[in-house]
Amino acid sequence: MSELIILRGSQEWSALYVNGKLAHVGDHYGTDEEAMRLAGIECESTDDFMRGGHTRADVAATLSEVEEYRSRRTLATRQAAKLRAQAADLITRAEQLETE
């Protein structure tokens, strides 16, 4: 495995060295992203690990729990869309009845 070292400046600049050689220079965020990419770390921007909550107790203990939450949320979202469509149809029918 490669040795990854980030030198973080006091301003916005950082440098990433791989096995002692400069591999990337840029802002802190970009340098961190490049280091994670080189290290094989997958970083996904999502709140799914919180499983709809807001406290430490809500955090999924495993990736399987995250996937279970995603599956439940996807199903619930589909069901909600179906119910909204049914509700819209009922409202249309009710409006038609009122105008007859």
Domain residue ranges of the chain, discontinuous segments joined by +: 1-43, 47-100
pLDDT for 17 equals 98
Tokens 């409202």 belong to which residue?
91
Distance CA 39, CA 57 (A): 29
Q: Report how far residue 63's alpha carbon sits from residue 51's, in angstroms, rounded to the nearest whole number.
A: 11
For residue 20, the model assigns a pLDDT of: 96
pLDDT band (50, 70, 90) for residue 2: confident
Pairing of strands 4-8, 21-27: unpaired
- Write out pLDDT tens, residues 19-49: 999 999 999 999 999 999 999 999 888 999 9
Share the mean pLDDT of the chain.
95
